[in-house]
Amino acid sequence: MTTSTSSSADGLWHHLRLVPELAVLDQPLADGDAACIVVQDGAVQWTGPEASVPAAYAQLPRHDGRGALVTPGLVDCHTHLVYGGLRANEFAMRLAGATYEEVAKAGGGIVSSVRATREASEDELFALAAPRLQSLLDEGVCAIEIKSGYGLALEHERKQLRVARRLGEAFGVTVRTTFLGAHALPPEYAGKPGGSQDYTDLVCNEMLPALTAEGLVDAVDVFCERIAFTLAETEQVFQAAQKLGIPVKLHAEQLSDMGGSALAARYGALSCDHIEHLSADGIAAMKAAGTVAVLLPGAYYTLRDTHLPPIAQLRAAGVPMAVSTDHNPGTSPALSLLLMANMACTLFRLTVPEALAGITTHAARALGLQDSHGLIASGRPANFVLWPLADAAELAYWFGHKPACTIVRQGRIHGVQP
Ligand code: NIG
Ligand code: FE
């Protein structure tokens, strides 16, 4: 399962409709003008009205967009895509009334994925993750974050992160890896006096430096929660990351207000994610630090949460909001970023333009990719999607429907041929 059948996207893409907020044009469009995108050497060289295409590009091979709507390639900025086993049994437990915390305490939850992930080989994990990734890519995802956090021991965290890197190469997609060693207490530390501190020390002093030296870590994340790591342990991990020059992000205020977001903002976090219980102080700190709020409606939905993230306050404060699948086997077995956009609108009351920015520009920023992804503009790698849709609102309107799109990813054409 590779991208070997794709063809080059170099040439002049014409007869397109752009979403104005998601593109920076070299020449403005007048009302009713069709847009063009010039791609050369896998990068966008020029965008603007067909009538103004510079002479130097006029002879390039043409790709007729037939009036398609064009967006930047989508960005899924929070996933746990690489894991062994499944947790469909927990779905049944929760339907019978158990909470996420009760499932975790009964030996299920993250720790059950840890067992299965440790048992799987690197090749097995790759084979399991590949169709999940393909499903996201088929819907226009051009950059994706993949976390570790189901290994919880050096060799197994390494295995997950190596699979993430291999997926990026095999599928021709931008992958940002995140080390989430502090996701849960591994079974061999659980119930031991000082176990949580000992494991945090291991994460900071051994796992993170070793994996960073191997080039496997683009960012560091922690699950800061009463069933996971404390604020002090979180800060210890952030300090270790800071020492190595690795940016941080946080699973913050998902089940309770721990003050994690304000702490993360103090460390210049790329993003704080979940944030259902985010406080006014947390919002102010995130705004000041330029930290992105990553909304994860899939987990909210699965857990039948009723505590909404403070959307109106985030909007009023001007904190950029991203939307992601949080794909994971426990709380969000979601393989559609467009469905998450729909749910962000319906459940969280985002506007359609907010949801679209949430799966493109703001999601890119949550990964530190704001200069290369999430916006159509000259000088960036060619990542964009042609949608057979009349109105951009349809991207958030339909659900359970994968539009037959043409995807230009890393300068190669995938999906429906234009
Ligand atoms: O983002 N909140 C913690 N981590 C994951 C859930 C992981 C799991 O249950 O396996 C999340 O929702
Ligand atoms: Fe998560």
Q: By three-state DSSP, how is residue 7 classified?
A: strand
Shortest-distance atom of ligand 1 to CA 150? 10
Tell whether the model's pLDDT for residue 262 goes beyond 80: yes
Q: How far apart are CA 147 and CA 270, in angstroms?
A: 14
Give me the helices (H) in 245-360, please: 260-266, 280-289, 297-302, 311-317, 337-346, 352-358
Shortest-distance atom of ligand 1 to CA 273? 1
CA of 152 to the centre of ligand 1 (A): 14
Measured from the alpha carbon of residue 149, the closest ligand is 1
The answer for residues whose C-beta is within 8 angstroms of residue 129's C-beta and 6 or more apart is 81, 82, 83, 163, 167
Which token pair is 213? 């030296």
Calculate mean pLDDT across residues 41-69.
Answer: 96
Contact 299 CB / ligand 1 (< 6 Å): yes
CA of 80 to the centre of ligand 2 (A): 6
The whole-chain average pLDDT of the chain stands at: 96
Contact 103 CB / ligand 1 (< 6 Å): no
Each residue's pLDDT tens digit, 76-108: 999 999 999 999 988 889 899 998 788 878 878
Q: How far apart are CA 139 and CA 147, in angstroms?
A: 21
Tell whether the model's pLDDT for residue 4 goes beyond 80: no
Tell whether the model's pLDDT for residue 184 goes beyond 70: yes
Shortest-distance atom of ligand 1 to CA 100? 9
SS3 content of the chain, % helix, strand, coil (to 5): 40, 25, 40
Each residue's pLDDT tens digit, 121-166: 999 999 999 999 999 999 999 999 999 999 999 999 999 999 999 9
**Best mutation site among 83, 147, 183 for ligand 1, i.e. most ligand atoms within 8 A of its Cβ?**
183
